């Protein structure tokens, strides 16, 4: 493919404290595309100064970008979005020409060896026995809907998961796609009030609904036609006292106001929801209310 | 024999072609882990989940397949006589095992 190919630069954004709104506005531009997974991206955009606690997670995300890949940093508030967009375009041209690449940050070793209880690494508890590369097989537990014994999968998701507010690390236990337990491991990064802008909040929900173009239009300041869009949100999802349900909140975002949502304990709100529903519910809160809801980790 | 050699030859060529066009995955260990936004999993991603419509599927097959067989059976029943009746009896006996299993699983309980 030629350099003049109209394909947009695929960027995975790792957003630091205070950079959510600028990055979301940047990646809604023509010629840029926000990748929802690093495997779909060529450029890793690191915005803001990352706290040391997120360094290892950032390395993990960096290594998951396929080759060729390039990391760009946007840490100076004086650098305009235009300048960064230009930098990304130039880097994308280099990538397409095969003139740039980066090697892994983490060592090329599995987290653990494959080791079971038997002399040949076989056997153990769980579905198949053994612990493939340090990961035990999922063990069964009671399904919260009807008590069937189903496998439980526990993982920490974040701080750079595109569907969660930047910085939020959620430890979730899933059975299939149903969340049976959730706890906040680290709260989202603090963001200025601009991140609560209704057009950005609406765009986050629209992106989750798979409506990429309406999401872009919303960020650029044009209002997508609300009627069809609201219908895409499941009925009466994520009802909060005094703040309606997710559909009402999306309608409010689309109408241009940011509803005040009382801080809600995520570990009580999320269990019982399917993953996609839970992400929609989280996206229907302005980031500041999730930050208020997340417990501040105690100083050691 | 000739046909067999040609088929085997083409299959082999096709396999070689597919192999040649596939790029080796070549993923390093950090690339092979699932993407969790920088997070880490506790357990292996391979897990069993409940396919909830399966009981419905079972009952559908039990009753629908019955009818698929019954129509042609009804056409030849008069000419075949008692043999056709015995065949249908065996067929229904096999299908009813599925229905009994569904009953045990509570498919027919209205909730």
From the first residue on, what is the mean pLDDT of each consecutive set of 10 residues in chain A (300 residues)?
Answer: 64 93 91 91 93 91 91 90 92 89 84 68 60 73 79 90 92 90 90 89 92 89 77 84 84 84 83 92 89 63
Query: What angle do the packed helices B54-80 and B82-104 form, to 10 degrees?
Result: 170
CATH number of residue A25's parent domain: 3.40.50.12280
- Chain centroid to CA A213: 19
Chain A residue numbers with beta carbons less than 8 Å from the beta carbon of B38 are 14, 54, 56-58, 60-61, 158-161
* Any domain includes A300: no
By 3-state DSSP, what share of chain A in percent is helix, strand and coil, each rounded to 5? 35, 20, 50
Whether residues B47 and A151 touch (CB distance < 8 A) is answered with yes
pLDDT in tens, B17-26: 998 888 776 7
Interface residue of A157, A165, A170 to substitute, partner B, most B CBs within 10 Å: A157
Which residue does chain A place closest to B32, by CA atoms? A64
Q: Does A55 touch chain B (CB under 8 A)?
A: no
* Residues spanned by the domain of A25: 9-96
- Chain B contact for A169 (CB, 8 A cutoff): yes
> Domain limits at B102?
51-111
Q: What is the tally of structural domains in chain B?
A: 1
In a domain, B20, yes or no: no
Q: Is residue A122 part of a domain?
A: no
Nearest chain B alpha carbon to A176: B49
Residue in B38, B42, B48 nearest the CB of A154: B42
Query: What confidence score (pLDDT) does residue A115 get?
Result: 66
Dump strand ranges (E) for A41-148.
Answer: 43-47, 70-74, 139-142
The pLDDT, as a whole number, for residue A176 is 84
Q: Are both A206 and A286 inside the same structural domain?
A: yes
Portion 175-194 of A in contact with B at CB < 8 A: 175-177
Q: Is residue B84 part of a domain?
A: yes
Residue A296, pLDDT score: 61
Domain identity same for A156 and A220: no
pLDDT per residue as tens digits for the range B53-75: 888 888 888 888 888 888 999 99
Q: Is A120 within a domain?
A: no
Within a domain: residue B67?
yes
Q: At residue B31, does pLDDT exceed 80?
A: yes
Query: pLDDT at position B5, please?
Result: 96
Q: Cis peptide before A192, with omega less than 30 degrees from 0?
A: no
Q: B31 at the A interface (CB within 8 A)?
A: yes
List the A169-175 sheet strands across, edge first.
Answer: A139-142, A149-157, A169-175, A178-186
**Which of the pair, B110 or A96, is modelled with greater confidence?**
A96
Are A249 and A163 within one domain?
no
Question: What pLDDT was estimated at residue A74?
Answer: 93
Q: How many CB pairs under 8 A join A and B?
A: 118
Contacts of B30 in chain A (CB under 8 A): 59-60, 63-64, 104-108
For residue A169, the model assigns a pLDDT of: 93
Question: Which of A123, A158, A186 is the last residue before a domain boundary?
Answer: A186
Task: Summarize the confidence of residues B87-101 as an average pLDDT.
Answer: 91
More confident call, A229 vs B79? B79
Asked, for residue A266, whether it belongs to a domain, the answer is: yes
E-assigned strands of A79-186?
139-142, 149-157, 169-175, 178-186
- The better pLDDT of the pair B36, A225 is held by B36
- B96 domain residue, yes or no: yes
pLDDT at residue A2, rounded to an integer: 43
In B, which residues are within 8 Å of A153 by CB distance? Answer: 41-43, 45, 47
Confidence at residue B88, expressed as pLDDT on a 0 to 100 scale? 92
Mutate to test the interface with A, among B23, B38, B41, B105 (most CBs of A within 10 A): B38
Higher pLDDT pick, A90 / B27: A90
B51 touches chain A (CB under 8 A): no
Q: Point out the residue among B35, B45, B50 whose CB comes nearest to the CB of A38.
A: B35
Number of domains chain A is built from: 3
Burial of A232 (0-12, 13-18, 19+ CB in 10 A): middle
């Amino acid at each position: 493919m030629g350099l003049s190919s109209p394909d947009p630069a695929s960027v995975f954004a790792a957003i630091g404290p205070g950079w959510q709104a600028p990055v979301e506005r940047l990646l809604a531009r023509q010629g840029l595309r926000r990748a929802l997974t690093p495997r779909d991206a060529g450029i890793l955009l690191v915005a803001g100064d990352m706290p040391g606690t997120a360094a290892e997670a950032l390395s993990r995300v960096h290594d998951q970008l396929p080759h060729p890949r390039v990391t760009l940093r946007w840490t100076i508030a004086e650098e305009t979005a235009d300048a960064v967009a230009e930098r990304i375009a130039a880097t994308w041209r280099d990538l397409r020409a095969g003139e740039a690449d980066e090697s892994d940050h983490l060592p090329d070793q599995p987290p653990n060896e494959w080791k079971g209880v038997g002399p040949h690494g076989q056997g153990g508890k769980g579905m198949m026995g053994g612990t493939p590369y340090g990961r035990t097989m999922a063990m069964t537990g009671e399904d919260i809907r009807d008590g069937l014994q189903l496998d439980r999968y526990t993982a920490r998701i974040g701080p750079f998961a595109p569907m969660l507010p930047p910085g939020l690390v959620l430890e979730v236990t899933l059975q299939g796609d149903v969340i049976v337990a959730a706890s906040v491991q680290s709260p989202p990064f603090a963001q200025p009030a601009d991140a609560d802008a209704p057009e950005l909040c609406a765009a986050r929900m629209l992106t989750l609904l798979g409506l990429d173009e309406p999401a872009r239009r919303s960020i650029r300041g044009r209002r997508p036609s609300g009627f069809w869009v609201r219908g895409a949100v499941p009925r009466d999802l994520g009802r909060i006292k005094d703040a309606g349900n997710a559909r009402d909140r999306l309608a409010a975002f689309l109408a241009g106001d940011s509803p005040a949502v009382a801080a809600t304990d995520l570990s009580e709100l999320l269990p019982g929801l399917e993953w996609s529903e839970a992400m929609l519910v989280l996206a229907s809160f302005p980031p500041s209310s999730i930050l208020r809801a997340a417990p501040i980790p105690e100083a050691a | 024999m000739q046909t067999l050699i040609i088929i085997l030859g083409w299959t082999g060529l096709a396999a070689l072609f597919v192999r040649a066009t596939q790029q080796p995955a070549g993923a390093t260990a950090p690339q092979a882990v699932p993407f969790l936004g920088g997070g880490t999993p506790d357990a292996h991603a391979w897990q069993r989940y409940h396919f909830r419509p399966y009981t419905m599927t079972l009952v559908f097959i039990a009753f629908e397949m019955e009818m698929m067989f019954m129509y042609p059976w009804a056409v030849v029943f008069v000419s075949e006589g008692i043999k056709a009746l015995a065949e249908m009896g065996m067929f229904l006996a096999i299908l009813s095992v599925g229905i009994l299993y569904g009953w045990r699983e509570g498919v027919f309980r209205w909730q």
